[in-house]
């Protein structure tokens, strides 16, 4: 996949040399859904970068001025690709939160998924305690379609019992994206 440029960012496939930046935010993931991706050391980050480099649905979010990887995006087609639906998500280094980078990256990514890849519908799962991702979904024009109560578990309590989390599903159709200004300033 080719790179996507925005005002401040470059979205591109992962490449050799990204391991240290990836390790910075995956050594202690802040969102529970990314706990399974926790990296123990730089060597593990290098293996993960190699894996992501061959994954067409995974993109590094890089600062245009420095090239630093500050997060990532992913978009995965469902089991039945004919339904033109993709699951999307993002993970941002907390050091770069609150500066509009996630919104800028996700808008460009959605544009790519709807137009270059031809998806009809994008959806995201967000845990009920992940308020920043809920806000991002809403800023992207996604609607909350429902809440799955005690849907998934990523952690265990002190006794080793799974802690189940409520998960919300957000979604947007290509026609809705287009009607809202194709993700540009109209959604600010």
Tens of pLDDT, residue by residue over 135-144, are 999 999 999 9
**Which domain covers residue 105, as residue numbers?**
4-187
The total number of structural domains in the chain stands at 1
| Cβ contact 57:109 at 8 Å | no
| Cβ contact 62:73 at 8 Å | no
Which of 1-10, 13-22, 35-44, 91-100 is predicted with the least confidence, judged by mean pLDDT? 35-44
Kindly report the number of other CB atoms within 10 A of residue 173's CB atom.
Answer: 19
User: b/e string for 43-81 if b means 16 or more Cβ within 10 A?
Assistant: ebbbebbeebeeeebbbbbbeeeeebbbbbbbbebeeee
Q: Which position has the higher pLDDT, 157 or 114? A: 114
At residue 148, the pLDDT reads 87
Q: Report the alpha-carbon distance of residue 110 to residue 89 in Å, rounded.
A: 11
Tens of pLDDT, residue by residue over 127-165, are 988 999 999 999 999 999 999 888 877 677 888 898 888
- What's the CATH number where 62 sits? 3.40.630.30
Which of 16-30, 118-132, 172-186 is predicted with the least confidence, judged by mean pLDDT? 172-186
| Cβ contact 59:1 at 8 Å | yes
Closest CA to 110 of 125, 101, 122: 122
Mean pLDDT confidence for 43-54: 93
Q: What is the DSSP letter of 142?
A: P
Q: Whole-model pTM?
A: 0.87
């Amino acid at each position: 996949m080719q790179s996507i440029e925005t005002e401040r960012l470059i979205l591109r496939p992962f490449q050799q040399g990204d391991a240290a930046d990836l390790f910075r935010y995956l050594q202690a993931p802040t969102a529970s859904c990314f706990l399974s991706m926790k990296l123990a050391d730089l060597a593990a980050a290098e293996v993960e970068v190699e894996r992501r480099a061959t994954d067409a649905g995974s993109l590094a979010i890089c600062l245009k001025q420095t090239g630093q990887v500050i997060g990532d995006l992913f978009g995965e087609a469902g089991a039945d690709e004919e339904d033109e639906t993709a699951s999307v998500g993002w993970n941002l280094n907390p050091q770069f939160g609150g500066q509009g980078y996630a919104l800028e990256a996700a808008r460009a990514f959605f544009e790519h998924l709807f137009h270059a890849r031809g998806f009809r519908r994008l959806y995201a799962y967000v845990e009920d305690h992940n308020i920043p991702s809920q806000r991002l979904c809403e800023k992207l024009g996604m609607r909350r379609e429902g809440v799955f109560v005690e849907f998934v578990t990523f952690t265990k309590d002190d006794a080793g019992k799974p802690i189940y989390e409520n998960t919300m599903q957000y979604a947007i159709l290509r026609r809705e994206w287009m009607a809202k200004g194709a993700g540009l300033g109209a959604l600010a």
